[in-house]
Structure 1
Amino acid sequence: MAKQIRLNAFDMNCVVHQSPGLWRHPRDRSRDYKSLRPWIELAQTLERGLFDGLFLADVLGVYDVFGDTADAALIHATQVPVNDPLLLVPAMAAATENLGFGVTVTLSYEPPFPFARRMSTLDHLTDGRIGWNIVTGYLNSAAKGLGETGQRGHDDRYAVAEDYMQVVYKLWEGSWENDAVRADPASGVFTDPTRVHRIRHDGPHYKLDAIHLCEPSPQRTPVLYQAGTSPAGRGFAGRHAECVFMSGPSKQVVAPRVAAIRKAAVEAGRAASDILVFTLMTVIVAETDEAAEALMADYCRYADPVGALTLMSGWTGVDFSRLDPDQVVEHVDNEAGRSALENITRADPNRRWTVREVAEHVCIGGIGPLIVGSPRTVADALEAWIDDTDVDGFNLAFAVRPETFEAVVDLLVPELQKRGRYKQAYAPGPLREKLFGRPRLAETHPAREVARFRA
């Protein structure tokens, strides 16, 4: 039986996410990011299209690598101004019943004790529809904003993350027994203290002596997303992730990364199917191929190459302002994100990217592929991606918000359903049960090693 295609929407609580310049398009509503109503309407649109979730990116810092200043990021609104993504979720959850919400939180700058409470609170308020995209950060500006001189080394950040995960696992899975809350008016006992356990952790980076402040939420541990396909990132994903978000400009780049992630899961004692892999994709779909191409041409009139290179500089740590537009981009090792630079320097030996080509590619949808066409054309392409790379689905970026997502829901989803490649209804239960058929983490997941209790 052919694998069903899963879809997440990829967005950010800002003006420019992955398509620099498109905020100027007359139909774009990205400038309304400060208001709740557009977010609620977007969530309702996505639920109508049976999307698994809304995946919300975030950065704690400004893209100041381009020209060694924040000026370009501010002028072109490249992910600044940017608001907190978590505060959007309760409003969107109240307006929907099934849509999941994956929120990006950089653990490097979040003490694990209050963070664990924040995620448990969101899991309660969404009836178990919350996921956490685990990131370690890649911007020096974020580290400096937190009072540090700069970020830790790339692989060191993952070592810190390992210790961090042990802390939050113990809080979520090991502090409160399932029946700790009695809420018994007759006896006057709300919580049985014998069923709540103090967590003590003495690790290389974190120390803790506390009980978790929240009673068990529907999922206990939120669905665990991870974005990063460097060697350190793959190892971390193999041990911890339930969903992996990756990016790559072609199937030739993405397929080996998918295989490497699944191999890492098996090496960690898990099943290859324990991880769902989503790759970045942008879809421009219209009633006909000709209409879609015309729509794409319209969007390109607003594309912003400088904004694109500002983003790419932040993602890679390479100052693209210093490079000639026709210069071939070469690989350099630094402490920023590794995968974005490898996408254009190492991943495909048959492709050499110039600075100009990078800017043109990133202008619509970021570093991921772009598919333009009728519902039939786009569905053919997505099916080929699923079959040729073994990804499970796509994190769909947008060109114009909410127009891009509305077209996917109204045109593409029915075509995929007609082919039997997309669900006809949501599965019951919390987000993890919808994705994996179980409400709690798999028994092979390392968090279960610290869990005192079983559902």
Structure 2
Amino acid sequence: MTKALSFSAFVMNTASHILHGLWRDEEGHQIDFNDVNLWVDLAKKLDKGGFDVLFFADVVGLYADHKGGWEYHAENGLQIPSNDPMVLISALAVNTKNLGFAITAAPLQEPPFNFARRISTLDHITKGRIAWNIVTSGQDNAYRNFGYEKMVAHDDRYAWADEYVDVLYKLWEGSWDEGALLKDRESGVYADPSKVHKIHHESKRYKVEGPHLVSPSPQRTPVLFQAGSSTAGRDFASRNAEAVFIIAPDPESARKVIHDTRQLAVEKGRNPDDIKFFQGLSFVVGETEEEAQRKDAELDSKIDLDMMVAHISNSFGKDLGYLPLDTPLEEVQTESVRSIAEWVRQSTPGRTPTVADLARFQSKITRISGTPEKIADELTKWSEAGVDGINVINATIPGTYEEFIELVLPELRKRGLARELSDTPGTLRDRLFGESRLNDRHAATKYRGAFSSVKA
């Protein structure tokens, strides 16, 4: 049975996010990312066009050095400068009706009490359209920006995230009982203090008395996204995530990740469909196959391969900037490179792959090029593999999304792969799950009513 996919626009409040170098193109209006009108106009188009979420990635530090230093990133606009996406949301919210907004933030960035307050405020302003993408920060520079000598070990970052969300869940779900907010002019009682509670949280990193200063927002807890693919990351997702962002190389790989994560969720008392999976994909659309292939080649010519190498080197733990782009990949001695070398070899039959091929592979591994009909055929395969939504990666803003809305979504709606346009307002969780609040299988809900007997 065909199911309607959800659609998210994957952006960053910077000039160059995933497909690098396109800010130099005349159609790359992301060069003006400081202009709030760029984002307001995009949000309006996505809202009208039927997208579910405007998903902001973010970093709070530089990527690893390239060519011996960090200056390369600033010179080329590789995620620096970049602005805080949370500041944008209020402006976008009042200019849209149905579009959800996902922001990325890590425990490293802000104490949980203040983060909970800001998210609840945004959920009120948006009338329940906020999501949080929970990340653990993977840049050494980010940790040094917040007073640490170096990045915290991988699994320890997830232990930290567990502790962080525990505080948030107590504030969002437990601090205010249902019916606490009265706003009764006659009695003069704004809130019933017997239904507002301090949480008295104490743990390794945090001591938070409470109560939560914000009354319950439409969703209480924002929709919870997560993107970790490691063992620790998938375990965290199985307990906490409602939506998981994946970048699988093909539908069958996605099927395995989805199955394994859902099995973990079931072991923790959740249902398999309590978690939705969003696959990251980019698109080149043509009215004919010939036009699509021509536009695909044009896009390849505009992508800066050296910037692509600089971006992906962060996860390899090795500065590849010293290597010419024609260096054979077999000469690059890192475990991470070796783990994807076979995929790159398959994309270059008959010759030895190079560092440039690694960069091209990274830019094309999740790209679908073709007519709207061909794209719909391919998205059917992803849907059949268990994918619930598509995180649409842009080459240019707003061009990528305008093209997808005008050419691809009508074909997807014909096939039942996209929802029909609707002006019915509701929360983001309503849109994704059919209910505004977390279901009672989620770990956060154990704190509902948990503090009613706690003394001040």
The TM-score normalised by the length of structure 1 is 0.93
Q: Residue 48 of structure 1 corresponds to which residue in structure 2?
A: 48
Residue identity matched to 1:332: E
User: Which residues in structure 2 correspond to 1:26-425 (within 5 Å)?
Assistant: 26-323=26-323, 325-328=327-330, 331-332=334-335, 344=340, 354-363=354-363, 368-387=365-384, 389-425=385-421
The answer (yes or no) to whether the contact 2:97–2:425 under 8 Å persists in 1 is no
Deviation at 1:193, TM superposition (A): 1.3
User: Which residues in structure 2 correspond to 1:420-439 (within 5 Å)?
Assistant: 420-426=416-422, 428-439=425-436
Q: Residue 442 of structure 1 corresponds to which residue in structure 2?
A: 439
Deviation at 1:451, TM superposition (A): 1.7
Secondary structure of the corresponding residue to residue 44 of structure 1: helix
Percent of aligned pairs sharing the same letter? 40
Residue identity matched to 2:335: V
Change in 2 beyond 3 A, CA 1:357/1:408: same
The answer (yes or no) to whether the contact 2:17–2:78 under 8 Å persists in 1 is yes
Secondary structure of the corresponding residue to residue 66 of structure 1: coil
Residues 214-256 of structure 1: CA distance to partner in whole angstroms, max 9, x if unpaired? 0000000000000111000000000000000011222343222
Q: 1: distance between equivalents of 2:339 and 2:296?
A: 24
Deviation at 1:330, TM superposition (A): 5.5
Deviation at 1:362, TM superposition (A): 3.1
Q: 2: distance between equivalents of 1:35 and 1:251?
A: 37
Residues 400-430 of structure 1: CA distance to partner in whole angstroms, max 9, x if unpaired? 1111110100000000001122100346520
Deviation at 1:349, TM superposition (A): 10
Q: Residue 453 of structure 2 corresponds to which residue in structure 1?
A: none
The answer (yes or no) to whether the contact 2:24–2:31 under 8 Å persists in 1 is no
Deviation at 1:348, TM superposition (A): 9.6
The answer (yes or no) to whether the contact 1:304–1:363 under 8 Å persists in 2 is no
Secondary structure of the corresponding residue to residue 67 of structure 1: coil
Change in 2 beyond 3 A, CA 1:392/1:346: farther
Change in 2 beyond 3 A, CA 1:318/1:452: farther
Deviation at 1:331, TM superposition (A): 5.0
Gaps of 5+ in 2: 451-456
Deviation at 1:381, TM superposition (A): 1.0
Secondary structure of the corresponding residue to residue 200 of structure 2: strand
* Comparing 120-129 and 373-382, the one that deviates more: 373-382
Q: 2: distance between equivalents of 1:294 and 1:396?
A: 21
Q: Residue 338 of structure 1 corresponds to which residue in structure 2?
A: none
Secondary structure of the corresponding residue to residue 102 of structure 1: strand
Deviation at 1:52, TM superposition (A): 1.1
Secondary structure of the corresponding residue to residue 28 of structure 2: coil
Secondary structure of the corresponding residue to residue 278 of structure 1: strand
Change in 2 beyond 3 A, CA 1:263/1:355: farther
Residues 305-328 of structure 1: CA distance to partner in whole angstroms, max 9, x if unpaired? 111011101244332224563223
Q: 1: distance between equivalents of 2:432 and 2:95?
A: 21
Change in 2 beyond 3 A, CA 1:275/1:349: farther
Change in 2 beyond 3 A, CA 1:197/1:101: same
Residue identity matched to 2:46: L
Residue identity matched to 1:435: L
* Comparing 278-287 and 236-245, the one that deviates more: 278-287
Q: 2: distance between equivalents of 1:124 and 1:238?
A: 27
Change in 2 beyond 3 A, CA 1:40/1:222: same
Deviation at 1:13, TM superposition (A): 0.2
Secondary structure of the corresponding residue to residue 399 of structure 1: coil
The answer (yes or no) to whether the contact 1:245–1:279 under 8 Å persists in 2 is yes
Q: 1: distance between equivalents of 2:417 and 2:202?
A: 48
Deviation at 1:64, TM superposition (A): 3.0
Between Structure 1 and Structure 2, how many residues are aligned?
443
The answer (yes or no) to whether the contact 2:263–2:272 under 8 Å persists in 1 is yes
Change in 2 beyond 3 A, CA 1:48/1:87: same
Residues 312-363 of structure 1: CA distance to partner in whole angstroms, max 9, x if unpaired? 0124433222456322356537xxxxxxx69725889978964222211334
Residue identity matched to 2:242: E
The TM-score normalised by the length of structure 2 is 0.92
Residue identity matched to 2:393: A
The answer (yes or no) to whether the contact 2:197–2:211 under 8 Å persists in 1 is yes
The answer (yes or no) to whether the contact 2:173–2:444 under 8 Å persists in 1 is yes
* Comparing 64-73 and 116-125, the one that deviates more: 64-73
Change in 2 beyond 3 A, CA 1:121/1:56: same
Change in 2 beyond 3 A, CA 1:348/1:321: closer
Residue identity matched to 1:300: D
Change in 2 beyond 3 A, CA 1:354/1:32: same
Residue identity matched to 1:404: T
* Comparing 168-177 and 428-437, the one that deviates more: 428-437
